A = this chain, B = another copy of it.
Amino acid sequence: MGRRQDIVEAAQTLFAERGYHHTSMQDLGDALGMQRGSLYAHIGSKDELLVEIVARAAHEFVLGMEQIVGQAESAPKRLRAALRHHIRVVTDSLPASAVFLFEWRHLPPHERLDVARQRDHYEGLWRRLLIEGVAEGAWSVPDPALTATFLLSIGNWTAQWYRPDGRLTGEQVADQIYQLAMDGISRRQEVAR
């Protein structure tokens, strides 16, 4: 079991760095110091690894968000929690999230459709949170789908630039996104005046 987990982790690092198609089982064996043939004692195929990495990330995104959306907190508090959750999933395993975000289109057709459904469901939970905030009078969001896309764009792109040894924790990044989303940049100026 530990060996299988090692293989999955090596695979997500290689897929993230080189791309799925540019990583061979030979590369994976080299990275682990294993014979290519021995890999097949633990996993069925390269496809299977991609499916596992993407499905696991999708599950993490969705599961945490379902809990947050259902909480008996104000919409702004749930929005802050949702942003922290998204950034936590992205930054906890940058290679896994890069594979989820950028390599998922290389999934076999059936699994690809399944992941597309989970992404839709996840985005739907974000839209729901934004719409509930309108009902609560917390904010005005004329186009919840577009606003959800914008917030998730910032969160997703974090996988492209965030470094664990950088100057910001993931939570600080999430809270800065929250502040921008809630107040914008011109509002802060008025508060500061």
Candidates B19, B147, B156; contact of A185 at CB < 8 Å? B147
Candidates B102, B180, B189; contact of A184 at CB < 8 Å? B180
Chain B residues within an 8 Å CB radius of A18: 21
Chain B residues within an 8 Å CB radius of A154: 150, 153-154
Q: How far is the CA of A76 from the CA of B185 in the complex (A)?
A: 10
If A140-B192, A154-B150 touch, does A183 touch B187 (CB 8 Å cutoff)?
Answer: yes
Can you list, as one digit per residue, whether each of A128-143 has a CB less than 8 Å from chain B (1) or not (0)?
0010010001111111
Chain B residues within an 8 Å CB radius of A130: 185
Chain B residues within an 8 Å CB radius of A133: 185
Q: Which residues of A contact B (CB under 8 A)?
A: 18-22, 76, 102, 106, 130, 133, 137-143, 146-147, 149-150, 152-154, 156-158, 161, 168, 173, 176-177, 180-189, 191-192
